[in-house]
């Protein structure tokens, strides 16, 4: 492999890691927003966790 291929491979790996990080951040933000909205309806956190929130992203 020449230098340009290694650089391109490195950039692709870094971009995939950034994409993974951003998707996790996005899921956590959505989960927090839903939990905050449910807090008004269900004030006890243990019950909110028992109900469970499933975030399904479109495939």
Which pLDDT score, from 0 to 100, does residue 55 have? 57
Q: Is the pLDDT of residue 59 over 70?
A: no
Question: Residue 45: pLDDT above 60?
Answer: yes
Return the structure tokens found at 2.
């020449």
What sign has the CA pseudo-torsion 36, 37, 41, 47? negative
HEC states along 1-59?
CCHHHHHHHHHHHHHHHHHHHHHHHHHHHHHHHHHHHHHHHCCCHHHHHHHCCCCCCCC
- Given this model, what pLDDT does residue 54 score? 60
Give the pLDDT confidence score for residue 44 in this predicted structure: 77
Residue pLDDT, tens place only, 8-31? 999 999 999 999 999 999 988 988
Look up the pTM and report it.
Answer: 0.63
Please, how many CA atoms are within 13 Å of residue 55, restricted to the half-sphere of its CB? Answer: 14
């Amino acid at each position: 492999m020449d230098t340009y291929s290694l650089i391109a491979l490195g950039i692709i790996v870094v971009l995939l890691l950034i994409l993974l990080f951003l998707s996790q951040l996005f899921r956590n933000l959505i989960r927090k927003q839903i939990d905050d909205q449910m807090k008004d309806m269900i004030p006890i956190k243990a019950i909110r966790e028992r109900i469970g929130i499933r975030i399904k992203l479109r495939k």
